[in-house]
Amino acid sequence: MAEYEPQRIEAKWQRVWEEKGVFRAIDGDSGRPKYYVLEMLPYPSGTLHMGHMRNYTIGDAVARYKRMCGYNVLHPMGWDAFGLPAENAAIKAGIHPREWTNTNIREFRRVLRRFGFSYDWQREISTCEPEYYRWNQWFFLRMLEMGIAFRKKSKVNWCPECATVLANEQVIDGFCWRHETTRVEMKELEQWFLRITQYSDELLADMAQLRNGWPERVLLMQENWIGKSRGARVNFSVDGTRLGIEVFTTRIDTIYGASALVIAAGHAKMNDLLEGVRGRAAMDAQIKSMLQRSTKAADIATAEKEGFFTGCFAVNPFSGEKVPVWVGNFVLAEYGTGAVMCVPAHDQRDYEFAKKYDLAIKVVVQPVAGQPLRAERMNQAYTDYGNLVDSGRYSQLSSEQAIEKMAADAESAGFGHAETTYRLKDWGVSRQRYWGTPIPVVHCAKDGIVPVPDEQLPVRLPENVSITGLGQSPLASVPAWLNTTCPKCGGPARRETDTMDTFVDSSWYFYRYTDPHNSSAAFDKGKVAYWFQIDQYVGGITHAILHLLYSRFFCKVMRDLKLVGHDEPIARLFTQGMVQKGGVAMSKSRGNVVGAIDMADKYGCDTGRLYTLFAAPPEKDLEWSEQGIEGSARFLNRVFRLVDKYGARLKNVSLEVGGSSDGSPTVKEKLLVRRLHQTLKRVTEDFDTRWHFNTSIALIMELVNELMAQEPLDRDISPAALKGVFEGLVLMLSPMAPHIAEELWAMLGNSDGIYTQKWPRYSAELAREEQIEIPVQINGKVRARIMVEAGLSEDKLKQQAMNDPHLASLVAGKQIVKVVVVPNKLVNIVVR
């Protein structure tokens, strides 16, 4: 009997696939429907572990299934190759970022090839190559012409000791990642932006096109990130000055309950507000401290609310009441107007702030039903709509009525107006780093900012650069690269030393896969028209906001440039769960990873692929288990031994999958053929709908168990029927464990690889689950009858009987000695 040698078998079939070009997609194939399936572009760092492999295994199973269903499948792979880790490696280890990146790419490619993923490697791209980033620059220039790319001053993280800009990832709890005692400051620099806000309404409206294909959670996250709010802008005059401070509120109906005005530490009018105020020096110190803290929304939301009174008062334009002006750490200058009205009774954040600093709590909206609110009895804010009280002439109006009337009255009186605002801000794409796409403009003393002509693209990164992480951008230290000629006047000019955010690279890469070697355009429009939209995109929920939102934005810009004819690039999105070990996600930094190559060397990559699909539904987190991986290995060994045992005598038997013998089939034959078609039906439905590969594999395992339970399989079943069942089993297994499936297919006498085969069709008649009535005895006497599926195994029939509520009541309180099962005939429960 042959032994299952996974490593030998896997290498063998990978050579066959490569030699025959099995996974190459054909552009414009009109004879087959197209299917574009893609896993998110990986960033090559270190090596791959089994936490990464789940994503690729899911995509590969779908790609293989769709090929078997007759689709022309595009399933490419490439590398998100620019980024900060490469630059950090250069600083720490003295390795050039290109060398570090390409070494990691080679390792990633080795692992993915080792696992036999069905990629069209002829379409491989790497975003750090000039052949790719040239088109980043081309898109930037088109956006500059459209007014979408622009430059303005913006705050950045600044380390005074390094004298350089830091990425958010390099700021650890407010301190520089290199200098644990150096607090990071906020500094204003000229930065490049892309005007994504121009597309805010369209990004929201076009979510309607995604409702049937994207997870609702992702759409909700994007909707909240864009943050469209309908409300009113209201101006509070500062008492005794000519200053006015504007707030934006979605709840103008609560304005009579305002106890304070709270402004951001970086508010544009701060200096004017505090001019001549007593205690200014102490206030400036507090402001500086606030400005040095994280401005991330998540950090602000969880931070303790802090603030101080400025000594100034503002006048509520509706009530005429003077309210104190405070500075608060929970208000950001970059969001809204940089100021909010503090209404403690009707906003939970304001309630917490008021309780801490003993500000008045005024109830001005009462619930429509229930007990009236009393400020002294409240332990949290009331944030729902209701009816107004203590609100002057607006009292007794509903919140909805008051919001409309008060906004109109504010506009008539000249101190406010209705307004729609967005949380979404323009995309800052400047990075003061080396390892990224150079921004293709020059700075000329005569002509200002001048675009680099298309024919001079790409603006290549210089290779001879010193990367220290100190001072200005590394590009500024290469005079031969920095100093150039102005394309407009021919005079001296300096190149832009900022590079692009790496999210630019990953916002359009999937278009390049359709035409990766085009040297005259980013892609051919006809090829994009054939392949797009992406039929299935697979990746983590962590990319719900930035990558996926920026990709949608880029698509709309390309549509406006007449490069594509669709509004959305991705028809269906699937977000897989994380692979955990010890209750937390696998991570090299946590030291809890299972190396992909180590796993493949020990068990074979088919075992790893099968386990990651079987251990949990793909959208759920998976807890890694050595016992589970060993169980998957045992199963594949069992299948191999079973086919090896009977394969030789079936080699010359010809049939269609699921075929039967001529003449009258035996009971065993009918049972196994029916079980095959029932399994095939459910596995097909899983692939076509919910992607519950775990249940598909469980069903295949049950089929194998049934085959083994019916041994010997050379008796009471025709060779044709047995071979048909075996081939159906192998074909179902092939998208999930492709190497062993190819080997088993050959062992059954097939000269053409399984990669040439169509997905088998099930018979609706044979797949129908026949129900039969089974008598259930208790101590030998029939006490009940249950309806079960015909052909259930002993274990399944026993389980179904014991789960029956009526039977459970009959044996309640009794000790079950044993359960005797005769499949298709009888269950006898012995109790005492």
Which of 421, 455, 483 is the endpoint of a domain? 421
**Three-class secondary structure of residue 569 per DSSP:** coil
To which residue do tokens 């101590």 refer?
A: 779
Q: Are strands 149-159 and 244-249 parallel, antiparallel or unpaired?
A: unpaired
Both tokens of residue 476? Answer: 């500024």
* Torsion 682-536-225-356 (CA) sign: positive
Under 8 Å between Cβ of 245 and 238? yes
DSSP state for residue 101 in the 8-state scheme:
H
Per-residue CA distances from 241 to 238, 244, 315 (Å): 6, 8, 11
Vertex 71: Cα angle to 67 and 72 (nearest 5): 95
Cα separation, 544 vs 220, in Å, equals 10
Q: Does residue 10 form part of some domain?
A: no
Q: Does residue 221 form part of some domain?
A: no
Label each residue of 233-244 as H, E or C: EEEEEECCCCCE
Cα separation, 500 vs 816, in Å, equals 71
Under 8 Å between Cβ of 449 and 506? no
Cα separation, 543 vs 797, in Å, equals 45
**Three-class secondary structure of residue 294 per DSSP:** coil
Which of 752, 767, 782 is the endpoint of a domain? 767
Q: Does residue 352 form part of some domain?
A: yes
pLDDT at 666: 87
- Residue 793, Cβ density class (10 Å: 0-12 exposed, 13-18 middle, ≥19 buried): middle
DSSP state for residue 812 in the 8-state scheme:
T
Vertex 569: Cα angle to 563 and 571 (nearest 5): 145
Both tokens of residue 330? Answer: 């929970």
Label each residue of 482-504 as H, E or C: HEEECCCCCCEEEECCCEECCCC
Q: Torsions phi, psi of 43, nearest 5?
A: -95, 120
Q: What is the pLDDT of residues 431-461, one digit of tens each?
A: 888 999 999 999 999 999 999 999 999 999 9
Measured N-to-C along each axis, helices 667-688 and 719-733 cross at an angle, to the nearest 10 degrees, of: 20
**Same-domain status, 112 and 159:** no
**Three-class secondary structure of residue 342 per DSSP:** strand
**Same-domain status, 159 and 279:** no
Encode 412-445: b = buried (16+ Cβ within 10 Å), e = exposed.
eeebbebeebbebebbebbbbbbbbbbbbbbebe
**Same-domain status, 745 and 813:** no
Cα separation, 734 vs 680, in Å, equals 13
**Same-domain status, 461 and 549:** no
Where do the H-state alpha helices sit in 617-763? 626-650, 667-688, 693-709, 719-733, 738-747
> What would you measure as the largest C-alpha separation in the chain, in angstroms?
106
**Same-domain status, 646 and 749:** yes
Under 8 Å between Cβ of 256 and 392? yes
- This prediction has a pTM of 0.86
**Same-domain status, 415 and 523:** no
Q: Does residue 218 form part of some domain?
A: no
Q: Does residue 553 form part of some domain?
A: yes
Per-residue CA distances from 375 to 359, 372, 383, 778 (Å): 12, 10, 14, 67
Q: What is the CATH number of the domain that holds 396?
A: 3.90.740.10
**Same-domain status, 384 and 448:** no
Q: In sequence order, what are the residues at sequence separation of 6 or more whose Cβ sits closer than 8 angstroms to the Cβ of residue 666?
A: 716, 717, 718
In single-letter form, the type of residue at position 198 comes to: Q
**Same-domain status, 305 and 453:** no
Cα separation, 789 vs 699, in Å, equals 14
> Can you list the residues of the chain whose pLDDT is less than 50?
none
| C-alpha closest to that of 657 among 750, 553, 589 | 750
Under 8 Å between Cβ of 770 and 673? no
Q: What is the CATH number of the domain that holds 695?
A: 1.10.730.10
Structural domain containing residue 320: 229-421
To which residue do tokens 């049937």 refer?
A: 212
At 551, which helix (H) or strand (E)?
helix 546-560
Q: What is the CATH number of the domain that holds 812?
A: 3.10.20.590
DSSP state for residue 371 in the 8-state scheme:
S
Q: What is the CATH number of the domain that holds 513?
A: 3.40.50.620
Which of 451, 474, 500 is the endpoint of a domain? 500
DSSP string, 580-617: EETTEE--GGGT---BHHHHHHHH-HHHHHHHHHHSS-
Label each residue of 190-241 as H, E or C: EEEEECHHHHHHHHHHHHHHCCCCCCHHHHHHHHHHHCCEEEEEEEEEECCC
Q: In sequence order, what are the residues at sequence separation of 6 or more whose Cβ sits closer than 8 angstroms to the Cβ of residue 191?
A: 151, 152, 153, 154, 156, 428, 430, 498
**Same-domain status, 475 and 570:** no
Where do the H-state alpha helices sit in 424-545? 479-482, 509-512, 525-531
Measured N-to-C along each axis, helices 738-747 and 626-650 cross at an angle, to the nearest 10 degrees, of: 20
**Same-domain status, 610 and 689:** yes
**Same-domain status, 621 and 646:** yes
Q: Does residue 4 form part of some domain?
A: no
Q: Does residue 215 form part of some domain?
A: no
Q: Does residue 6 form part of some domain?
A: no
CB 293: neighbour CB atoms within 10 A? 18
Count of structural domains within the chain: 5
**Same-domain status, 389 and 316:** yes
Both tokens of residue 254? Answer: 């609560």
